[in-house]
Amino acid sequence: MQDENPNDAILPNERESIDDCHFRYYEYGKTGAIKPTYGRPTYLREFAHMAAIGWTQPDNLTILWQCGGSLIWENFILTAAHCTADANNTQPDVARFGDLNLFDDSDDQYAQQLKIIEVIRHPQHRFSARYHDIALMRLERRIELHDTVAPACLWTDDEIRFKAFEATGWGATGFAESRTPILLKVSLTPVERESCTSHYSGIRGLRSGLHEYQMCAGDSKMDTCPGDSGGPLQVKLLHNTRLTPFIVGVTSFGTACGFSVPGVYSRVAPYVPWIQTVLRASGEDAQDWQFEPHACALRYVHLREYEPSVVLHSSGENEQLDLDEAHLFGTSSAQVVSIHWNETVAPGNRECYGVIIDRSTVVTLARCTQANGVPPSHVTHLGNDSNIVTRHHRHPDYREHSLLNDVGILELKDPFEFASSWDFYPACIWSRKNGMDGKLTVSGRGLRALNEIVEKEPEINNSTLKKTINTVGVVVTQNGTNCTIPRQYATKLPNGLSAEHLCFGAEPFLVPKTCDLAYGGPLQREVFRWGRRLMYVNALSLLGKDCGFGESAVAVKLSHHVEWLQSVLLPPRTIEKAAETRPFVFLNPDLEEGDECSTQDRSAGVCVNAQYCPKVAQGFRQNRGVTFCQSGSLVCCPHRYIRNGTNEEWQEIDRCNVDHQGGEEDMDEAPLHMPLFRRFPLFGPTQNGIAFVREQSSHRERW
């Protein structure tokens, strides 16, 4: 892309390059960006579900806090079964929430301390063994919901995709070390059960070795220790610009802490049906759908901490937010269309998307140009405006179900009407071979409720949990060192990624159903050139889960297929086609100099002398339609093309373009300020292949 001034660019009537997009749609570009900021109180929301489990001593003054737990219902704690009795076989009787320092009252402002009135061990747990080490504890009443005290969610899926966990507790800080007075957290990574088993062979209580409902996690420097038992092994999942904690495991046992040996945790997912049964037996309305990740995440979303990227500044109980820095937005890219088939022709078609790159052209995946051998019938823009597909093209080297050369083009019946007032204009194609690195936006679909900004408790029902919207996620390009393709796609890429592929993603994992990848949708970014921002599409989404959040996704780079794109979008002009191309000149005798007018492409303009609108005059020579006002010396000129320069400047532009066309002696000698009707007679039969139309106030007459 050669950097030149768009005000000096003269575009041909017939498009000759896909790199002229910024010039062609320059008027729709934005001059800047505004980022709003918001302010609201902040508290200790990071550990709002964390419970300290204690035993009141005989003096009724001292409490020994010996285990941890997680608040998972407003009156129930999830913990380890071996935490249901101490060495004297005494059950715990008190739980404390919203207090990070258990040894002084420095942070007791939001603390809540409640009695434990019932302890329920898993029925298969035995103190002589280390299996089924999970239990529930019922509180005397419901906690008071607050930013600092709120239940966590349970991870209900047997598949654990996460690359890292957090464990929290008030346990010992090392082998034979004292207990920490402050709640601490450690970052741990999952360890395969086969590898973990080698550390626990022959351990008392593990007669059958580690079971499938147990899991291991560890770190070379960090570990859970005595006193951390029953605490959560958790992940924080993103939605609504907030982070919700999900309990994946319960701290069970380990060897001497701090020796780089992974600890063992009870997986939560296999025990969710049992947990639901206990809650219902206690009179709780614990319906199955309430434990679905998306439903649980919404229950207390207004109390959760914000994702770090939106927090500008935090001090005391106040934080300054910039929600424009969020990872996800419940909006749609203005350039995206969804692709549809007539169900009676191609039933069971796949979900596909594409990108508007011209008034009547959409670029998409090759797989989206046919379904069961049938091309799509229409596309919809922003879910409502429908446009019929007239032609389809797929890359000649594409093979069905392949991830190579997966690029296609759809031609539409009706041209789109672009409007800069609401950012609707086509995306430009990024054609540079070096690609577009850094931050990009990716399009997806997700539940509306998981993508809206929430400041108060939302209404949750079957209806709100079904409505989906378009979403846009902020991701970054990735290379071989941080590109982690999910296992399920490995078989589709036996040789790994090729030069046409782009790996992308974002670090946080999402609550399921927050963002599903829009296949064929754009990986794009606004580019600032010549004082304007226009959208450039770098690649099309090819495969991935959750829009690339947590695990990488893959796109196909358009720059790798520029030659094929140009062969379809810009076919060579034949002599016959050139001969058929004739400019149409429209004359409106009611318009005088200075009147508002409308050009052939419906742009707003003003009637001015041709010498002040050289771009329109030059366009006429290049077989482009022109609207004349009253006489041949007045043309309807778009506001952006009106000039106040000297005649010499326009003559120079004129000479350059006449030479470019092969030379026209009469034109070259005629100054631009000469009335155009002397150079192009308006009244009379067709001359030199030019068709003339007189436009009157109510009808048109063809000459």
Whether the CB-CB separation of 351 and 337 falls below 8 Å is answered with no
Instruction: Quote the CA–CA distance of 351 and 343 in Å, as a whole number.
Output: 13
Q: CA angle, 261 as apex, 255 and 263 as ends, to 5°?
A: 65
Whether the CB-CB separation of 422 and 381 falls below 8 Å is answered with no
Token readout for 267 is: 């997986």
Instruction: Quote the CA–CA distance of 691 and 703 in Å, as a whole number.
Output: 7
Catalytic residues: 82, 133, 229
Question: Three-class SS of residue 456?
Answer: coil
Residues 6+ apart with CB under 8 A from 529: 3, 22
Instruction: Quote the CA–CA distance of 286 and 293 in Å, as a whole number.
Output: 14
Token readout for 308 is: 């770090």
Neighbours of 413 (CB within 10 A): 11
Whether the CB-CB separation of 311 and 305 falls below 8 Å is answered with no
Rounded to the nearest 10 degrees, the angle between the axes of helix 647-660 and helix 614-621 is 20
- DSSP line for 487-500: GGGGGG-TT---TT
Beta strands in 83-162 (DSSP E): 94-97, 112-121, 135-139, 153-154
Instruction: Quote the CA–CA distance of 411 and 390 in Å, as a whole number.
Output: 6
Whether the CB-CB separation of 538 and 521 falls below 8 Å is answered with no
Instruction: Quote the CA–CA distance of 634 and 122 in Å, as a whole number.
Output: 89
- Of 520, 559, 561, nearest to 369 (Cα)? 520
Token readout for 146 is: 């607050």
Token readout for 306 is: 């914000």
Instruction: Quote the CA–CA distance of 96 and 71 in Å, as a whole number.
Output: 10
Whether the CB-CB separation of 522 and 424 falls below 8 Å is answered with no
